[in-house]
Every structure is written in C-alpha cells, then in structure tokens.
Amino acid sequence: MHGLIPPHGGTLVDRVASPDKAKALTEEAGELKRIDLTAKQSCDLEMISIGAFSPLTGFMGKTDFEGVCKDMKLASGDHWPIPILLSVDKGDAPAVGDRVALHAPNGTLQAVMTIEEVFNHDKKLEIPNVFRTEDEAHPGVKQVMEEGDTCLGGSVETVTVCVDPEGPEAFLDHRKTPAQTREIFEQRGWKTVSAFQTRNPIHRAHEYLCKCATEITDGLLIHPLVGETKPGDIPANVRMDCYKKLIDEYFVDERTLLTVMPAAMRYAGPREAVLHSLIRKNYGVTHFIVGRDHAGVGDYYGTYDAQNIFDELDEENIGIEPLKFEHAAYSKKAQGMVSGKTFPKIEGDQIFLSGTKVREMLAKGERPPGEFTRPEVADLLIEWATSC
C-alpha cells in the first residue's frame, strides 16, 4: 500500500470556517432563525464538520435519506448505513434557501446552514430498516420517535467545533480530527492501522482483540466514542481514565494511539458497525475490529450479525478491512485468553461476566476477577461506582 487509505468518497471533508469567516458567520447568525440542536444532532454536526462523516458536507436530503434507509447507499453510490438528519418540529421549519443558525444544547453557536431541502421525516421507513425493530424500548428507536417530523437538508459552515471545551468530556488533548490522525500515522510510518471502537472500559477480552489486531498491522488506534450514549453507560471521563491506565501498563506506547470520537451512539447493531468502520476509514484506519454484538443493545441482534453484514456490501467501496473476532474469554485450563477458534469448549472452563453482574459487583466495592479485568482498571471502576 502506498500512502494512507483514501477517505470515503475520495475527499476528506472540512466544513470548519477560517477565523475571519467564523467571525462573519457569528455576526450573520444574530440575524438568522435559531435552531437548537439535540445532543445527537450536535454530535453529528461536529462529525460532519471535521470530515469524520466524509463524504457528507451537511445534513442529508431526501434522496440520500431514502437511499440509505432502503439500500445503505448515498445518491453518489457510496455505501452509507444510517441517516444523518436534522429533524425539527413542522412549525419550526424554515423555507428552502433560508440560512439558519445552529446552536448546541449548551447555547453555543455551532454552525450556519443553508437550507437546500425540506422534507418529511419518514420514521416508518427509517426505523425498521436501520434498527431491525420498531420496539420503542430500543434506545435508538425511542430517540428517532422523539425527533421532529420535518427534516432540513443542506451544507453547513461551522463556527465552533467542540461546543463544550470546558466540560469534563471535551478531552481536548485527545480530540483529534481525521486530518490530524492521518498526519500522526504518517509521522509514525504506519501504513496499516487497526482501530478498536468502544463505549465501555476495555476488559481482558477487548485487550486480547486489540493485541491480535496490533500483531497484523503497524499500529493500533484505540478510539472510544465520547458523544451521546444511553443512561447507564459508564461516563466517558471514567472510561478515559481506564484507557489511559491500561495503555500505560499493558500496551506498547509507540504502537498505540488513544484519541476520542465525538459521535453519538445509535445502538443500531449491524448498520452501526458499518458506520463505525467508514468513520475509521476517514480517520486513516485500514483494519477495523468487529467483535461480538458490535453496537448492539439487549437481544435485538444476533451475536455475529454485525460481522455478517459486511458480506453483503461492496468490499471495494467499503475499503476498510473488517477484522471479525469470535467471542473471547479467559480459560482456566489454557491460563489465558481464548476464543472458539483457538481453544476447545470445556464446560465451566471459561470466565464470563455480564455487564450487569460487573456493575453490581462494582457498586458493592467488590473487585471483578483478574481474569476479567486488569486490577488497575478495576480500582478506577470501583472508585467511580462507590462514589455515585
């Protein structure tokens, strides 16, 4: 491979205004109709702005929306699995040609947008196709059901990229754009890079997957999602402390990079696995770890549905190589991490702990076994759980 992997669609998008342009946009925004974004929409806007959602230059129009829902494709023919929409209440919708000021949930002016399309938010098309269920107990379905019925499509010009630079989850020292991670990869001489997506602390099974991937590529990007997640997920600032400690103690520094991804979770299982892979392609990653029930929630998706979906797609257009791993766990007999591919199944041999069980143990100040999580990580999690 010569040079880094091309971004999705061939061009890395950058919708962040120059300082002079941002000043002019800020002045203009004072005279424009104001739209207050949800946390998910604000995350999506940041991902569009920095090129993480390349080739998107703004929120989707009707043709892209319908193509994504039905065929997982944009009008350009490029694969894209999940709609990126700006939906509002019908009475708040501006007209085509209007410019509007987009404000983050904390009130910060985030961008100015030119309205190119106004169309109906067809939730009956989106929900069953994207989530494979219409059950409103599913957090992604519930989120879409609560969104507006009218969608605004159009390009954005971004004034403020990180809308909460003083907040605990800004992580400015680890907040790298796709252009910046690509520059780091080039500086380090990494032509092949594997990435690990996570919204949880990294336990022994996750660590095993990361190290297997590192063996076959030049470097590893640990790329936790720090945008909007559902209630009950461990806060991003706690997770970041866990990642840093684990990397310091158990990973090779010059082969590992930790940066954050400011995206919102959809919990869309297979389709979200594809989205996560395309995002990492834009960050310069060549190999993407897809484990058991990637981006899933509850029992809405089969154990390996998120891996199997890649077999239905055009490999050349996806571009990035999915690394499909079996469920891994600690084997008492093997005295190490194993999977169904590497070690025979013996009744009672492997140590499995559910997320619910781990949270119960932590809340009681009980340490999960070392076969499940590193002791340094357990210390941090116990401290968090017992202080809540």
pLDDT tens across 146-156, in order?
999 999 999 99
pLDDT over 50 (residue 84): yes
HEC assignment per residue over the chain: CCCCCCCCCCCCCCCECCHHHHHHHHHHHCCCEEEECCHHHHHHHHHHHHCCCCCCCEECCHHHHHHHHHHCECCCCCECCCCCCCEECHHHCCCCCCEEEEECCCCCEEEEEECCEEEECCHHHHHHHHHCCCCCCCHHHHHHHCCCCEEEEEEEEECCCCCCCCCCCCCHHHCCCHHHHHHHHHHHCCCCEEEEEECCCCCHHHHHHHHHHHHHCCEEEEEEECCCCCCCCCCHHHHHHHHHHHHHHHCCHHHEEECCECCCCCCCCHHHHHHHHHHHHHCCCCEEEECCCCCCCCCCCCCCHHHHHHHHCCHHHHCCEEEECCCEEEECCCCEEEECCCCCCCCCCEECCCHHHHHHHHHCCCCCCCCCCCHHHHHHHHHHHHHC
Question: pLDDT tens across 304-337, in order?
Answer: 999 999 999 999 999 999 999 998 999 999 999 9
pLDDT higher at 234 or 48: 48
pLDDT for 163: 85
Banded model confidence at residue 217, pLDDT cuts 50, 70, 90: very high
Mean pLDDT of 155-175: 84
Q: What percent of the chain has pLDDT over 90?
A: 84
pLDDT for 1: 38
Banded model confidence at residue 235, pLDDT cuts 50, 70, 90: confident
Question: pLDDT tens across 107-135, in order?
Answer: 999 999 999 999 999 999 999 999 999 99
pLDDT over 80 (residue 354): no
pLDDT over 70 (residue 2): no
Mean pLDDT of 228-249: 89
Mean pLDDT of 205-233: 91
Catalytic machinery residues: 199-200
pLDDT for 167: 66
pLDDT for 169: 67
Banded model confidence at residue 101, pLDDT cuts 50, 70, 90: very high
pTM here is: 0.95
